[in-house]
Structure 1
Amino acid sequence: MPPQDEDDEVDLGVSLEVIATIVDLANAVQSPEEGTMGDGDEDEELDDDEDSDDLADEDATLDMLTEYIDELNEDQQAALIALAWVGRGDYDAEGWDEALKLAYERNAKGTAAEYLVDMQGLGDLLSEGVAAFGLSVEEVER
């Protein structure tokens, strides 16, 4: 069972505000490509300048996401990794201590940002991980 504070709320080791920020950035970077190329109509073509602007925006957002995760402390980074694993179904809320222990080991070299940004659907995984504890990133004001 995850540590709990005196209000009987789950202490994930990272705030919901931080998780929500990472979810938003991850979703901006890893949004589905469907629809960006048109619906198959051969008369529709994307402007090359628009494509390069979109790629530049995506690269900037990816850099922001990576830097944001890199700036977090070791405990927060390990918690994010463990939450992603819970969200992916590798662990459940009852297995939090084990997931967190393994996440610390996984992040021993300090590569949490690289590891997390390479996860397919990171935003969804973190949202699902938080939901496993009865919390929601959707409730966080942005």
Structure 2
Amino acid sequence: MLPISVAKVAEVIILARELDRAEPEFDGLVNALNAEEQAALVAIYWIGRGTYDADDLDEAMATATNEATTPTTEYLKGSPLLATHLEAGLDALGIDATEEEDRLIKPV
């Protein structure tokens, strides 16, 4: 079980796609996450880019927690493929964020 909701990850994905226009919103959202949620976000990103396998989620989260030297917002914004890697990480974990992304983009 991820310590971050799929809805929060989906919102980060959406904002990451529009980072040039939505950087303050991205920063606000990521900074509002607690430390465990931020570590999970980084771990999902790492899984999506192939640094870790989905089976290594706990190890990736521990590494993200123990080796964090840069603010999470700055670290994640350093990747031009952030949204793609987050989606791939969720997919590798067997989670589909499409419904959450659609709900956030097209509120009912």
- Structure 1 unaligned segments of length 5 or more: list them: 1-10, 30-57
Q: Secondary structure at the match of 2:75?
A: helix
- Structure 2 unaligned segments of length 5 or more: list them: none
TM-score, normalized by length of structure 1? 0.68
* Cα distance in 2 between the residues matched to 1:126 and 1:63: 19
Larger helix fraction of residues: 2
Q: Secondary structure at the match of 1:83?
A: helix
Alignment root-mean-square deviation, CA: 1.3
1:83–1:130 contact (8 Å) kept in structure 2: yes
**In the alignment, what sits opposite 2:50?**
89
Kindly report which structure 2 residues correspond to 1:1-142, keeping only aligned pairs within 5 A, or say none: 11-29=1-19, 58-59=20-21, 61-107=22-68, 109=69, 111-140=71-100, 141-142=103-104
Question: Quick one: which amino acid aligns to residue 67 of structure 1?
Answer: G
Residue 106 of structure 1: CA displacement? Answer: 2.9
Count of residue pairs brought into register by the alignment: 102
Q: Secondary structure at the match of 1:12?
A: coil
Identity score, percent:
31
Q: Secondary structure at the match of 1:90?
A: coil
Q: Which runs of 4+ in 1 moved over 4 A?
A: none
* Cα distance in 2 between the residues matched to 1:71 and 1:136: 23
* Cα distance in 1 between the residues matched to 2:79 and 2:70: 16
Question: Quick one: which amino acid aligns to residue 64 of structure 1?
Answer: E
Question: Quick one: which amino acid aligns to residue 85 of structure 2?
Answer: L
